[in-house]
Amino acid sequence: MRWLATAALLFCVADATAITIVVGNTPTRVSLRVGSPGGQIDLVTFTVPAANVGDGVPVAGTVPGQGGLAGFCPANTVYVEIEGRASPANSRTVTLSVDSTQPLSNGIDTIPFTQIDWISTGFPPVSIPSGTFSGGAGQVLVSFQNSRVALQCLRFRYLNQSVVGAGTYNGRVVYGVTMP
């Protein structure tokens, strides 16, 4: 009889707990912005005086405008923003990589992207280290845990370590981000 009374009491208490709110799927979001918004491809220009070609003194690049985000990055730098949102924090890894396999070319000669480096100015909590393009695909620049945003200003330099033929060399690197 005591058992019956206890069971009835438990039932009564449980019955008063009626309304339950449940969170279904939580959203995820990963995004990458390099330079200007809206899919624009920004141009970094290195001008090497003829007398200095191949002398090993780096030449800093120039970037029109404010590097993609007015008032945030210094002049002649490129703004990079990587964002990884998911729940809970630190449950996923955000990885930024770059493909620099296609060298710069003037139509005749080429310059590998290993001749270009960058100096980072980062903002906590995530920083992209300064470095040099590897000339390969999938060069990992930084990895960090989700629920953070990485904001960087990159200053690119042409290392100017080889004598190359005269002309204008064009090339493109492609950045990508994943958060599996």
Partner 1 sequence: MRACARLLALLLAFVPPAGAATRLDDSLSPRQRVEIVPRWVSESTSGRLSNEQLNALVAEVRQFEVRLNTAKYVGREAEIYLRLPVAIIGLHSPAGLRLEWRTRGRFASGSVRPGERMLLFRGAISQPVMEDTFDFVLHFDGRYIQRGLQFDPIYEIEILR
Measured between alpha carbons, how far is residue 116 from residues 23, 52, 95, 136, 154 in Å?
A: 48, 16, 21, 13, 12
Calpha distance 78→119 (Å, rounded): 10
19 or 51, CB closer to partner 1? Answer: 19
Nearest approach in angstroms of CB 164 to partner 1 is 37
What's the closest the beta carbon of residue 85 comes to partner 1, in angstroms?
6
Alpha-carbon gap, residue 109 to 98, rounded angstroms = 23
Distances (CA, A) of 159 to 10, 62, 72, 153, 163: 76, 14, 26, 19, 11
CA distances from 66 to 35, 70, 95, 129 (A): 9, 5, 26, 21
Give the span between the Cα atoms of 160 and 55, in whole angstroms: 6
Judged by beta carbon, residue 85 or residue 157, the one nearer partner 1 is 85
What is the rounded distance in angstroms from the CA atom of residue 95 to the CA atom of residue 148?
Answer: 12
CB of 38 to partner 1, least distance (A): 12
| Closer CB to partner 1, 27 or 56, in the complex | 27
State the minimum distance, in angstroms, from the CB of residue 69 to partner 1: 6
By beta-carbon proximity to partner 1, the closer residue of 13 and 41 is: 13
Pick between residue 73 and residue 111 the one whose CB is nearest to partner 1. Answer: 73
Residue with smaller CB distance to partner 1, 91 or 93: 91
- Tell me how far, at minimum, the Cβ of 147 lies from partner 1, in Å: 5
Residues lying near partner 1 in the complex (CB under 8 A): 1, 4-5, 8-9, 12-13, 15-27, 29, 31, 69, 72, 79, 81, 83, 85-89, 91, 123, 147-149, 151
Smallest separation, CB 62 to partner 1 (Å): 22
Separation between Cα atoms, residue 176 and residue 155, nearest integer Å:
19
What are residue 48's phi and psi, to 5 degrees?
-110, 115
